[in-house]
Structure 1
Amino acid sequence: MRAIPFSRLLIAAALGSTLALAPLSASAFEGEVFSLKNRWEHTVTQMPANQREDTLKALASEAEQLANQYPNEAEVLIWQGIVLASYARERGGLGALGTAGDARDVLERAIEIDPTGGNGSAYVTLGALYDRAPGRPLGFGNSDTAERMFQRALELRPDGIDVNYYYAAFLKEEGNTPAAREHAQRAVNGTARENRQVSDEALRREAEALLGQL
């Protein structure tokens, strides 16, 4: 039998170890994101308003640590961006602009890695950020950019509850009542995602309330 060089054996062993560990690493990363998502959902849908800001601040810190550990995982960055955007919204005022800007930067980085933006989630959050932030010189808010983000999200997930609700809210602010009504109805009729049922159902209720105002 032909002898195999020892160096090649070492390389093969190292490669085998890497391949064996990869599923475990992926599972660990997915589990951490799943835990972060569940606690975020509980915070934004069920926690009393006077407790949300501090909790989201802690979640944002945790998400940052996770992103530092997995800097090239789009899903991790998307959830960091979502948590930061929620924290900025809860803080409100000019003091939240820095946090909102951080959320924007993280989400745009995630889209560079995954152009689908987590099946549209990054684009929805970016659309809401560009819609709600003040424009220059104070902030980065821009209606045209918000429109583009929402349109891209709709291309990826046209029946999404979150996509249609936030786009409907944007259209209402823009004075386009017929289109706002259409997308609010689509949000009401949409199907909740299996991994986001709690937050999607909360948005469905908000879409029903919005529809009543249109």
Structure 2
Amino acid sequence: MNKTLAFVTTLALSLNLMMTSAQASDDSTLLSLQTRWAEVNYQLREKQQEAGFVELEQQAKAWIQAAPESAAAHIWLGIIKSTHAGAAGGLSALGLAKEARKALETALQLDATALDGSAYASLGTLYYKVPGWPFGFGDDDKARQLLEKALAINPDGIDPNYFYADYWYEQGDYQQAAKYANKALQAAPRPQRPLADAERRKEIAALLQKIERKK
């Protein structure tokens, strides 16, 4: 092997090792955030929950600083800020929701299919949960477009189906809401996210009860 070929081979191997190491780091950070987010969102209350969300936001920002081109990092910053907004309520909620929108839009620019289209699902949810003009940026038509894009990428996922069911409930179409809620219940379990799955199924069951009362 001549020196040039040897150098190219060594360089390729080094780059491959660096990429593998970076991916492993991203995967580890992702799992850590997902696990802690479920604990903060579902198990903590009031001041402890507020502190938990702030800590998670700091971790997500650190991930973005380390890997600015990681769509997953921006998605999780958006998810954390949007759920923080929902828990906080009041005047601070809209500011957090706007920051969540910015993070999710950045993720879409980087890789719209990352994490099975989670940016579309989370952004769509923001658009139907946030008040419309003049108080906020809410837009039901845009929400539907985004949620349908999420389902096109991940048609059998628990989250996009639940969010779409909740969207239709908010729109007063209880037949569509029941259809997608039941589909969400049929989603395959996510082995690395048992708490999130269990709590999401409780939310789906509660939504189905509300739908039944409307019939």
User: Do they fold alike, i.e. is TM over 0.5?
Assistant: yes
**Rg (Cα) greater in structure:** 1
Tell me how far apart the structure 1 counterparts of residues 184 and 85 of structure 2 sit (CA, whole Å): 24
Instruction: List gaps (5 residues or longer) in structure 1.
Output: none
Q: Is this contact kept in 2: 1:162–1:200, CA < 8 A? A: no
Q: Name the residue aligned to 1:85.
A: 82
Instruction: List gaps (5 residues or longer) in structure 2.
Output: none
1:201 shift after superposition:
2.1
Q: Name the residue aligned to 2:195.
A: 198
Identical aligned residues as a percent: 34
Matches within 5 A, 1:153-172: 153-172=150-169
Is residue 48 from structure 1 mapped to residue 37 from structure 2 by the alignment?
no
Is residue 126 from structure 1 mapped to residue 127 from structure 2 by the alignment?
no
1:119 shift after superposition:
0.6
Is residue 37 from structure 1 mapped to residue 28 from structure 2 by the alignment?
no
1:211 shift after superposition:
0.6
1:35 shift after superposition:
1.1
1:70 shift after superposition:
0.7
Q: Is this contact kept in 2: 1:154–1:163, CA < 8 A? A: yes
Q: Name the residue aligned to 2:138.
A: 141
1:188 shift after superposition:
2.3
Matches within 5 A, 1:71-110: 71-110=68-107
Q: Name the residue aligned to 1:24.
A: 21
Spell out, residue by residue over 1:96-134, the C-alpha distance to the aligned partner (whole angstroms, 9 max, x if none): 212111111111111122121421211111111111111
Tell me how far apart the structure 1 counterparts of residues 152 and 16 of structure 2 sit (CA, whole Å): 36
Q: Is this contact kept in 2: 1:117–1:123, CA < 8 A? A: no
Q: Which moved more, 1:118-127 or 1:12-21?
A: 12-21
Spell out, residue by residue over 1:11-32, the C-alpha distance to the aligned partner (whole angstroms, 9 max, x if none): 7755543333322222122212
Tell me how far apart the structure 2 counterparts of residues 145 and 196 of structure 1 sit (CA, whole Å): 29
| 3-state SS of paired residue (1:120) | helix
Match of 1:181 among 173, 178, 182: 178
Q: Which moved more, 1:101-110 or 1:24-33?
A: 24-33
Q: Is this contact kept in 2: 1:82–1:125, CA < 8 A? A: yes
Under a length normalisation based on structure 1, what TM-score does the superposition of the two structures give? 0.88
Q: Is this contact kept in 2: 1:56–1:83, CA < 8 A? A: yes
